[in-house]
Structure 1
Amino acid sequence: MDSPAPAVRPGGIVGVLAVAGIVAALMQTLVVPLIGDLPRMLDTTASNASWVITVTLLAAAVATPITGRLGDMYGKRRMLLVCASLLIVGSVICALSSSLIPMITGRAVQGMGTGIIALGISALRDVLPTERLGSSIALLSASMGIGGALGLPIAAVVAENASWRVLFWGVAVLSLLITVLIWLVVPATPALGAGSRFDLLGGLGLGAALICLLLAVSKGGDWGWTSVTTLGMFAAAIVLLLAWGWWELRTRDPLLDLRVTARPQVLLTNAASVVIGFAMYAQSLIIPQLLQLPAETGYGLGQSMLAMGLWMAPGGVMMMLMSALGARLSAARGPKVTLFVGSLVIAAGYGSSMALMGSTWGLMIVVCISSGGVGMAYGAMPALIMGGVPQSETASANSFNTVMRSVGTSVSAAVVGVVLAQMSMQVGGYTVPTENGFRTGMLIGCAVALVAAAISLSIPVRRAVSTGRHAAPAPAHAESKV
């Protein structure tokens, strides 16, 4: 017999899910201070060691839509527990690793657990009263930025003063705590699996297409953008996406209902998500380098890894504060307006860098402005998605939106990487980007944010849909506690 579900405590639910998002984001930034040491730690080459970062991105892109659909079918709380368990297992594998293959395996398992963020946002629609929904979505969306902001200085301190394994053991413990809290605090959510089946072929097809696309984008610089491998990956991604779309339109229970996704509100929000993901990530590639490059370059600020993390940490705080402001704006004017304003704030942050790039304080201000805009935009996008899809598809639609942001960040890494590589010079035997290269990268981020603002203005907002492929189940069909 199932044990009773925990009583609904809105504040506790939001707090637990926000911490879960912070832990997932923290996991993703853990290895940044270790990048230079990974080849020595794992007895491998720098090229092979880069897979420790790439595999997390790939695993997250593949697993997030799948866990989202399973959350809609069998209950989001159940899948939240699965994702938290994956974070534990992956972190333990990494902590015990001494060679490349186990580390890559552990990072892949960790990546599979990052769907906890999209699931948490989607679960709010099921368990919170309407008046709490907007502010809670904004807070959970901001948790990604908070985790990223905390991750750099924490990981730098640990890496400088203790074994790198402590980082992964710490995330394992935090993930275990999150698992227990989800079990105790988050109530059961509706399970809509009766009479439907999981679209395994659709999941495999989308996963294969995303792997080909993201590999081509993230590794194209190493392989050569015109190489047979890169072009073959792009071609395979196109063919697989077309075949996947054909299948999804014909199967009875698709992984993602493309007819719903094609609705202008959802389609344009996803398009804006790609562009916002690009704009958000560009500063993360440029500003840390500016802070850490030697002062002898004439524009580098000579900061340590720890100092760099501390200078960027206020951005996470600003993201949280502005997400709350964005929630109030959404309540008054709608999430479309919040997305538009957030995009303009991001553009203003990038634009301000033209005058503020020469000092640590100036770059901190740039980070705070841009991060504030990201906080507003990230809180608005899930609200727009959930306002345009049936409740039976909330998690799968939100998960796909998360993937769209990941595609944007991958494209950003590729484009900014090419710009900085082309606009570089030799300093002390090393190749470093020029000041004009950094300025060009920031101006690209500004332009892309303005494109996001233009897209947001074209979003036609429609009322939330209450019915979909499946009727809402009776309360007796809610997921059980076990």
Structure 2
Amino acid sequence: MTAPPAPPLRVGKSAVGVVSILAGAIGTLESVVSPTLPLLQRELSISPAQGALLSIAMLVTGALTAPIAGVLGDRHGGKRVMIWLMVVVSAGGLVSSLAPNLPVLLFGQALEGAMVGAMPLSFILMRKLLPAEESPVAIGVVSGFFVGGGMLGTLIAGPIAEGLSWHWMFAIPTLAVVVATVFVHRVLPDDQPTRSDARIDWPGVALLSGIVLTFMFGLATAPDMGAQPLLLVVAVVLLAAFVTGWIAVERRAASPMFDLRLLARPAIWRSYVLTFAICVGAALSIYLVPQLFAVSGDGYGFGASSTDIGRYLLPAAAMAAISGPLGGLGTRRFGSTAVLAVGIGVMTAGLIGMAFIHTEVWHLVVGKALLSLANGVCITALVIKTATSVDHGSTGTATSLVLVIRVLGFATGAQIGGAVLTAGTPAGSDVPAESAYVAAFVIASVVTALSLFVVRSMSKGVKE
């Protein structure tokens, strides 16, 4: 049962500020593993396959936590559930920072994955606590801090791990999360629940878990599927079974975790398709650019150190930080369709530019900065489009699935990038050919450009 929305409270900039700072802190903690994965493999004496498991542990648990957090936030109040989640995240950060081996570190990362659920909760709070005309910009600010925090984590993880130890790269962001959570608890007013049916659809959660895990399994085993086609058959059959079962359960559940009727709305399903496509293109650039900086190939690459790479990515971090507020302002003034069209156009141009022009460091610096800005603007516009296309009682549920799809998109893009570079590495060498980078960037630009066809149809029959 959906309760009528309460009048928005005048919370002021301080409340938006503390939620944004918390988003930045968890974004930082989320991103420290990826740039230091080779170092962690050396320090913990783990294989590349085990390193790959470490790199996706948080993504998997985060994708599973987000829908539950969104439902709980709709039904119990966003602030209360956010505090609970941050306790779990802080515990995970502490476990990770003290981990003596891979199993303990994996457990810590699994706990940290609960942070993904904080994003739909922050969107719930912004819609509840702010007037309608102000909430899009506030959502953009929170999204921008999360993206900016992710870039900050990418920048500082290497220097901290090399200068202190890899334990500190978990400990420092965890301390920031704890401090920000205390401020959220003290500054943010309590919000009233918008749903009275507080039951969680556990069968739906279990089946969605199966979908995510099977999808990740398919990506992880993709390089071996050519030699073992049975793996492909098993992955496809399992995925189809889980999807079919999830749809059947959600249609019949008295209190479903996701109301499938929302998917009948063009604004919702198109937002999900766009989120996946845009994140695939963005993930390819996130994966490829640092490697192109670091590689020293035959006539290409720059042989950059971890510190150099962090410095080169600094402009992209700045662009990511302002992309959320810019996306919120642009959406409020011009509408999400216009913002998405411009953002996707910039992303496509940047990817094509880096594919064929990457002979100087500044070529990649500028291209990556443009991509970070455009990607952040697009994701913000999509989140706002999704959040404002449903009633207040469904905000967390609808936006949480955006985050699940975001995770799947990033995982897909990274896997595609790795597969293309592996296929483009000559026999007897560990350095991919330059043509492999070109091909990967072109694939990313094609996927991104094709999403424009979805954007063109977004406003048909839908009032912006």
C-alpha displacement of 1:199: 1.1
What is residue 3 of structure 1 aligned with on the other side? none
4+ runs deviating over 6 angstroms: none
Instruction: Please tell me whether residue 163 in structure 1 is matched to residue 165 in structure 2.
Output: yes
What is residue 431 of structure 1 aligned with on the other side? 430
Distance in structure 2 (CA, Å) of the matches to 1:101 and 1:183: 32
Distance in structure 2 (CA, Å) of the matches to 1:300 and 1:366: 15
Cα RMSD of the aligned pairs, angstroms, is: 2.0
Which AA in structure 2 matches 1:413? A
192 and 318 in structure 1: CA distance in 2 versus 1, 3 angstrom threshold: same
Q: Percent identity?
A: 24
Distance in structure 1 (CA, Å) of the matches to 2:343 and 2:251: 34
Tell me the SS of whatever aligns to 1:102: helix
What is residue 339 of structure 2 aligned with on the other side? 338
C-alpha displacement of 1:223: 6.7
322 and 171 in structure 1: CA distance in 2 versus 1, 3 angstrom threshold: closer
Query: Would the aligned equivalents of 1:71 and 1:79 in 2 still touch at CA under 8 Å?
Result: yes
Distance in structure 2 (CA, Å) of the matches to 1:84 and 1:389: 26
Query: Would the aligned equivalents of 2:221 and 2:231 in 1 still touch at CA under 8 Å?
Result: no
Query: Would the aligned equivalents of 1:388 and 1:463 in 2 still touch at CA under 8 Å?
Result: no
C-alpha displacement of 1:177: 0.8
Structure 2 residue runs of 5 or longer lacking an equivalent are 1-8
Alignment map for 1:90-105 (pairs within 5 Å): 90-105=92-107
Alignment map for 1:289-438 (pairs within 5 Å): 289-294=291-296, 296-425=297-426, 430-438=429-437
Tell me the SS of whatever aligns to 1:44: coil
Distance in structure 2 (CA, Å) of the matches to 1:44 and 1:379: 37
99 and 391 in structure 1: CA distance in 2 versus 1, 3 angstrom threshold: same
Which AA in structure 1 matches 2:37? I
Instruction: Please tell me whether residue 13 in structure 1 is matched to residue 12 in structure 2.
Output: no
Distance in structure 2 (CA, Å) of the matches to 1:448 and 1:431: 27
TM-score when normalising by structure 2: 0.93
C-alpha displacement of 1:227: 4.5
Query: Would the aligned equivalents of 1:292 and 1:302 in 2 still touch at CA under 8 Å?
Result: yes
Alignment map for 1:58-207 (pairs within 5 Å): 58-207=60-209
C-alpha displacement of 1:226: 4.2
C-alpha displacement of 1:33: 3.7
35 and 342 in structure 1: CA distance in 2 versus 1, 3 angstrom threshold: same
Tell me the matched-pair count: 455
219 and 274 in structure 1: CA distance in 2 versus 1, 3 angstrom threshold: same
Which sits farther off after the overlay, 331-340 or 44-53? 44-53
What is residue 457 of structure 2 aligned with on the other side? 458
C-alpha displacement of 1:30: 0.9
Which AA in structure 2 matches 1:392? G
What is residue 5 of structure 2 aligned with on the other side? none
C-alpha displacement of 1:162: 0.7
Distance in structure 2 (CA, Å) of the matches to 1:244 and 1:303: 46
Which AA in structure 2 matches 1:137? I
What is residue 56 of structure 1 aligned with on the other side? 58
- Deviation string 1:47-86 (CA, Å, 9 cap, x unpaired) is 2233211211111111111111111111111121122112
Tell me the SS of whatever aligns to 2:426: strand
Which sits farther off after the overlay, 194-203 or 249-258? 194-203
Query: Would the aligned equivalents of 1:25 and 1:144 in 2 still touch at CA under 8 Å?
Result: yes
Which AA in structure 2 matches 1:302? G
Tell me the SS of whatever aligns to 1:456: helix
Which AA in structure 2 matches 1:245? I
Tell me the SS of whatever aligns to 1:37: helix
- Deviation string 1:383-428 (CA, Å, 9 cap, x unpaired) is 11012212101001101011111111111122222221112226xx
C-alpha displacement of 1:370: 1.0
91 and 201 in structure 1: CA distance in 2 versus 1, 3 angstrom threshold: same
Query: Would the aligned equivalents of 1:80 and 1:182 in 2 still touch at CA under 8 Å?
Result: no
Instruction: Please tell me whether residue 446 in structure 1 is matched to residue 440 in structure 2.
Output: no
